[in-house]
Amino acid sequence: MKDHKIFYLSFAAPCLVLIAILGFFQRKDNDRVQSLPAFVSGIGFVTTSFIGRNMRRKKLLTEIFNINNDVNS
């Protein structure tokens, strides 16, 4: 059950960006500014998760190399 919640939550930020883009194109003139905070927040969440994922992968890779070097020594 917990895995399903995390799976659905992973779609929240991309959906926020999509809704902001749709809202931007449906509004006129000065009302378009109202969709920008949702767009910026969604892009921020996606970017943060991308950077965090890459950092975790890099850390895991260095740990694997360190274990392999210790075994081979």
Q: Are 24 and 35 in contact (CB under 8 A)?
A: yes
Q: Which amino acid is present at 65? A: F
Say yes or no to pLDDT of 1 above 70.
Answer: no
Position 2 scores a pLDDT of: 62
Quote the pTM value: 0.75
**For residue range 64-73, what is the model confidence (pLDDT) as tens digits?**
988 877 777 6
Q: Are 38 and 20 in contact (CB under 8 A)?
A: yes
**For residue range 11-51, what is the model confidence (pLDDT) as tens digits?**
899 999 999 999 999 999 889 999 999 999 999 999 999 99
Alpha-helical (H) ranges within 1-73 are 2-9, 12-26, 36-72
